[in-house]
Amino acid sequence: MRIADAQWIPSTPHQTWDALFDPEVLQRCLPGCIRVSRLTDTEYEFTVRAKVGGIDAEYEGEVLVSDLTPPESCSLAFDGKGAAAGLAIGTAQVHLSPKDNGTRISYTVAAMAGGKLAALGEPAIMKAGGKIVDKFFSGFIDHMAAQPRIAPPPPPPEPEPRGLAASRWSWAVALAVVIVLVGYHTLFK
């Protein structure tokens, strides 16, 4: 199964990026979400209750974030297991870019299902997956529209140059060394 689409978010790219990785925001916007926990900066755990093709089940899973280029792009690997329904695994590539005084999120998701979920067939899974994605983005857009816009953080300052070349006294030290060497060779040889 493969889903590719894009959404416009009424927020700056850095605010959108921060919200996409905030467990509280994810829990509020993801339909049927019971819990989202950040384990590390790149690992999340979740519990979601979803109804797919008449099978109502609770899924527990993990998401691993990689290839982070804040606030522009990342890759996700995920898996979810439901005792009564089977499992779903997949990957996603997410790209953010400024657009029309907001942010364009484009994404491509590739997923596979096993167990009872796989028996439902790809059309039923695609329909259910599309509804979950639509509900998530509807809630996420509403959440971001309610947030005040904040200017992006300033870039980190350039590190101060080090060494003699960066010192304003380096030319005087170099000149003194040359004078000492020339003087020594002139006077003592």
pLDDT in tens, 7-33: 999 999 999 999 999 999 999 999 999
Do the domain assignments include residue 84? yes
pLDDT at 126: 83
> Would the CA dihedral through 65, 30, 92, 150 be positive or negative?
negative
57 CB neighbour count, 10 Å cutoff: 19
Do the domain assignments include residue 127? yes
Do the domain assignments include residue 175? no
pLDDT at 85: 76
DSSP letter for 3, please. E
Q: What does the radius of gyration of the chain's CA atoms come to, in whole angstroms?
A: 27
pLDDT at 55: 78
Do the domain assignments include residue 33? yes
Q: Please say if the pLDDT value at position 144 is more than 90.
A: yes
CB 67 within 8 A of CB 89: no
Written as six digits, the tokens of 65 are 């974030």
Q: pLDDT band for position 157 (50/70/90)?
A: confident
pLDDT at 127: 85
Do the domain assignments include residue 114? yes
Q: Mean pLDDT score of the chain, rounded to an integer? A: 87
Domain range for 37 is 2-146
Do the domain assignments include residue 167? no
Place of tokens 């008449």: 54
Do the domain assignments include residue 163? no
Do the domain assignments include residue 162? no
135 compared with 156, residue with greater pLDDT: 135
As a whole number, mean pLDDT of residues 40-52 equals 91
**CATH number of the domain within which 119 lies:** 3.30.530.20
What CA–CA distances, in Å, run from 103 to 7, 72, 144? 8, 10, 11
| The total number of structural domains that make up the chain | 1
As a whole number, mean pLDDT of residues 43-48 equals 95
pLDDT at 86: 82
How far apart are alpha carbons 48 and 36 in whole angstroms? 9
pLDDT at 172: 65
